[in-house]
Amino acid sequence: MKKRLNFFCVLMLLLMASQAVMLFVVGADAFQEGWEKGGKAESEATWVNLLWFFVGMFAIVGCIVSFVSFIRFILNVNHNKVFVWENVKLLRLSAYGLIFIATIVTGNELCSGGDDIELYDDYFDTLLFGIFSLIVAEVFAIGLKLQQEQDLTI
């Protein structure tokens, strides 16, 4: 049973890593395009551009935090620490990071005139995975509460 759980965790980790890599690859093209436009344009720094820069940096931090939290969750599972409160916190942190990324990137794309169908294809799966991770974290929390109540009964 542990081998199957490890397999699924490694598979999920690979999917998260591939999604993060693809996010950076797609973002690199947009970054290069913006860099070239910025080099040709007059240096007009507006508060909106600065705000979107910081929002983008927060999205990158959210991606890194989500990825590291999920790696720590997998390591806990490999060390036979499956039903512990730390895993609930790690799953929640990973889920909040994914939801934050999906929300920020979708908002940015909508503000810059992105297509709704393309946004759905690109970022809806990240939002779904984040919500699913929250559901799993809550299941872990309920299981831990039930285990504590059972330990207290005589």
Q: What is the mean pLDDT of each run of 10 residues along the chain (154 residues)?
A: 76 79 74 73 68 83 89 88 93 92 82 73 82 92 92 82
Q: Give dist(CA 104, CA 23) in Å, integer.
A: 13
Q: What is the pLDDT of residue 60?
A: 85
Q: What's the pTM value of the predicted model, to 2 decimals?
A: 0.76
Closest to 60 measured CA to CA, from 12, 28, 88, 13: 28
- Asked whether 142 and 97 are in contact (CB, 8 A), the reply is no
